[in-house]
């Protein structure tokens, strides 16, 4: 019999869980998780801002516009990186009210999902009688929950580091489950326009400088969309660049749908890099670095190219312009990350964590007569 669970989903104190906060991957993970789980009959309580709009069973308001605007109201999220502190009034209000509201609703074997990791730890510590899970770890430190879900194997391996090679200290319940996507938010297109796209935080850590240099060397038109870092707020953009600025859900869909290729030249190890999969869902090839989660999401020569030298990037652009990457192959690979495909992986994981809480755990065998086929179905 399929199990149904109860989730207490913690939003981020400094954002609002809705589509307007498209620039925050963590917030969008919360938003989509609520839909992914309620669609299959699970009970989901979302705790967040009064302007949150999720598909949760109940949206519990724990911070109002009065407090949020007082702390963050002067910050234009469409143009600048966000600034916040766990010591500010918004966070402290969020903590206090969420602890109280969970107390009113919780039952034995409920899950508390800390999408913002250590940033919402005080809430989890106050309810440590429940099952605490960090479900989409994409931050470089502060992991604390007894149950951790990483979006890519590169992130899991980075967490254990070199000691994971020498020591026998791996946790069987630290698992990899990729991020999940609503296919309705993207439009597949094979007939591309004559431009390449850079979309994301506009700074050199994301490879902005590389995309500019490659565009100049190859003579392509480059469209740029995202939030500006201080280094690019007053930048003198060359003629081959069109600056779009912040792109909402619909504009993002159009930009990705029509682009000939997308740059993802991150100079750090991406924990997942959701925008790359979004590009693939639009039938648009990816040009990425050759490390981090991109080694798992970008199949070299199939969905795009992974690069290390400047010549690699130039050749990638040239090959894409010649049509050597199939838009259909991009879309097919991207669809592996749909909510419908990822949800069973989460449900299987939550069932295993539930077993531990009920004195079963590692040796519990489910569906004995058909266990191999069942396992393969959710892990293929």
Domain residue extents for the chain: 6-180+339-379, 183-335
| pLDDT value of residue 378 | 64
Q: Which three-class secondary structure state does DSSP give residue 323?
A: coil
| pLDDT lower than 70: segments of the chain | 1, 75, 77-81, 367-380
| Residue tagged 């107390």 (tokens) | 103
Predicted local confidence at residue 144, as pLDDT: 97
* CA distance linking residue 363 with residue 380, whole number of Å: 22
Rounded distance between C-alpha atoms, residue 179 and residue 342, angstroms = 8
Whole-angstrom distance, CA of residue 224 vs CA of residue 233: 13
**Cα(62)–Cα(17) distance, rounded to whole angstroms?**
12
The pLDDT, as a whole number, for residue 2 is 79
Q: Are 68 and 31 in contact (CB under 8 A)?
A: no
Q: What is the pLDDT of residue 117?
A: 97
* In contact, 253 and 186? CB cutoff 8 Å: yes
Residue 120: how many other CB atoms lie within 10 Å: 24
Find the angle CA(154)-CA(156)-CA(157) to the nearest 5 degrees.
65
Cα separation of 7 and 107, whole Å?
Answer: 10
Q: Is 156 in contact with 174 (CB distance < 8 Å)?
A: yes
What is the chain's length?
Answer: 380
- Give the C-alpha separation, 153 to 137, whole Å: 11
Q: What per-residue confidence (pLDDT) applies to 302? A: 98
Fold of 183-335: Rossmann fold (3.40.50)
The kind and range of the H/E element at 43 are strand 43-49
* Cβ-count burial 218-251 (b if 16+ within 10 Å, e if not): bebebbbbbbbbeebeeeeeeeebeeeebbeeee
In contact, 123 and 86? CB cutoff 8 Å: no
The phi and psi torsions of 135 (rounded to 5 degrees) equal -90, -20
pLDDT at 366: 74
β partners of residue 264: 288
Q: Is the dihedral of CA 54, 59, 61, 63 positive or negative?
A: negative
Number of H helices, E strands in the chain: 14, 13
pTM above the 0.85 mark?
yes
What pLDDT shows up at residue 75? 67
N- to C-terminal Cα separation, the chain: 22
The answer to whether domain 6-180+339-379 and domain 183-335 are alike in fold is yes
Q: Which helix (H) or strand (E) holds 61?
A: strand 58-63
C-alpha–C-alpha distance, residues 36 and 354, integer Å: 19
* pLDDT at residue 379 in the model: 62
* CA-CA-CA-CA torsion sign (166, 169, 171, 172): positive
| pLDDT at 325 (0 to 100) | 98
Is the domain 6-180+339-379 a CATH 3.30.70.20 member? Answer: no
Adjacent-strand bridge partners of 147: 133
346-367: burial string, b at 16+ Cβ within 10 Å, e else: bbbbbebbbeeeeeeeeeeeee
């Amino acid at each position: 019999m399929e199990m149904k669970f109860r989730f207490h989903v913690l939003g981020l104190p400094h954002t609002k869980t809705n589509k307007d906060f498209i620039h925050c991957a963590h917030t969008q993970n919360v938003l989509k998780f609520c839909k992914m789980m309620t669609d299959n009959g699970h009970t989901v309580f979302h705790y967040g801002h009064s302007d949150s709009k999720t598909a949760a069973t109940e949206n519990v308001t724990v911070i109002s516009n009065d407090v949020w605007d007082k702390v963050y109201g002067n910050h234009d999220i469409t143009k600048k990186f966000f600034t916040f502190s766990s010591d500010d009034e918004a966070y402290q209000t969020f903590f206090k009210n969420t602890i109280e509201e969970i107390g009113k609703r919780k039952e034995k074997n409920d899950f508390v999902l800390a999408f913002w990791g250590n940033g919402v730890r005080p809430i989890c510590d106050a309810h440590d009688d429940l099952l605490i899970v960090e479900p989409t770890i994409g931050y470089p430190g502060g992991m604390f929950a007894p149950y951790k879900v990483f979006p890519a194997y590169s992130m899991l391996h980075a967490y254990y580091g070199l000691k994971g090679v020498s020591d026998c200290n791996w946790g069987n319940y630290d698992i990899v489950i990729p991020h999940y996507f609503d296919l309705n938010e993207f439009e597949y297109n094979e007939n591309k326009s004559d431009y390449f796209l850079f979309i994301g935080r506009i700074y050199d850590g994301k490879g902005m400088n590389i995309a500019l240099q490659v565009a100049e060397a190859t003579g392509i038109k480059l469209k740029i969309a995202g939030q500006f870092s201080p280094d690019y707020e007053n930048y003198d953009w060359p003629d081959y660049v069109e600056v779009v600025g912040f792109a909402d859900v619909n504009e993002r869909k159009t930009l990705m749908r029509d682009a000939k290729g997308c740059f993802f030249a991150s100079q750090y190890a991406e924990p997942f890099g959701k925008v790359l999969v979004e590009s693939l869902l639009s039938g648009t090839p990816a040009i990425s670095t050759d490390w981090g989660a991109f080694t798992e999401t970008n199949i070299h020569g199939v969905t795009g190219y992974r690069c290390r030298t400047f010549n690699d990037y130039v050749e990638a652009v040239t090959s894409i312009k010649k049509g050597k990457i199939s838009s259909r192959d991009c879309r097919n690979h991207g669809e592996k990350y749909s909510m419908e495909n990822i949800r069973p992986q989460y449900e299987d994981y939550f069932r295993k964590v539930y077993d531990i809480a009920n004195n079963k755990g590692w040796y519990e065998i489910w569906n004995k007569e058909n266990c191999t086929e069942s396992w393969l179905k959710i892990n293929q």
